[in-house]
Structure 1
């Protein structure tokens, strides 16, 4: 596959259309999602011709912690190496900056994909947590 990787942000509408293919539930509109990715430390877009078919981003302090977010591949391009190419490039960016602690959120059923790259699930004795303001008592 002729895949072109680009560090610049994709077009807002193209990103929103790609994001919609995930089925992830969210209350955000296209402009809010674009603002979110615009605030990233590093982004990578994957194109086949002019079509955005994949995306991934890193939120980081640039020194020792990074969080990989929104690794998305259009359904018809999954299992063709697009996600692997994006993830490798994201991890290489972390490696080049000597970032040793890289975390991520995995969509349901996708953890085996990340395990191939050396990611491990957090130990039950040190579980991660997330705050959801819609469920918060204050």
Structure 2
């Protein structure tokens, strides 16, 4: 069976399962409803299915003019290293280009910098402007 790339919103439970597979919610902060609302409020979402199962996703938020932020790139552990993340990234960046967005930002998981560097992303210098806050 082949993989199917889509741009519609994933089902709430399926997205929650995929998100939980990342380990990013170790404290159990985000509920199914919260994650579903986050996805619904995204500017652009790309999902990958194997049959009826959601196996990967990437999403962005944007002002629609100048910049966007890549929020999540997720692939279920059993489906990693099959090129799904690359296919998602290609779709996300192509969409940005088609809309005239030239500034794409992200925060990546430790050890994943190489994946994003292949697309031209560069780490900000330590003395560059920019800050973050996680509440």
16, 39, 42: which one pairs with 1:40? 42
Deviations 1:30-71 (A, max 9, x none): 100110111001111100111100001010011110001111
Q: Secondary structure at the match of 1:117?
A: coil
100, 104, 107: which one pairs with 1:105? 107
For structure 2, the 5+ residue unaligned runs are: none
Query: What is the correspondence of 1:72-87 to structure 2 with a 5 Å cutoff?
Result: 72-87=74-89
Query: 1:128 Cα deviation (Å)?
Result: 2.8
- 2:23 alignment counterpart: 23
- Tell me how large the CA RMSD over aligned residues is: 1.2
For structure 1, the 5+ residue unaligned runs are: 134-138
- 1:126 alignment counterpart: 128
78, 94, 97: which one pairs with 2:96? 94
TM-score normalised by length of structure 1: 0.92
Q: Secondary structure at the match of 1:15?
A: helix
Deviating beyond 4 angstroms after TM superposition, the runs of 4 or more aligned structure 1 residues are none
Q: Secondary structure at the match of 2:14?
A: helix
TM-score normalised by length of structure 2: 0.94
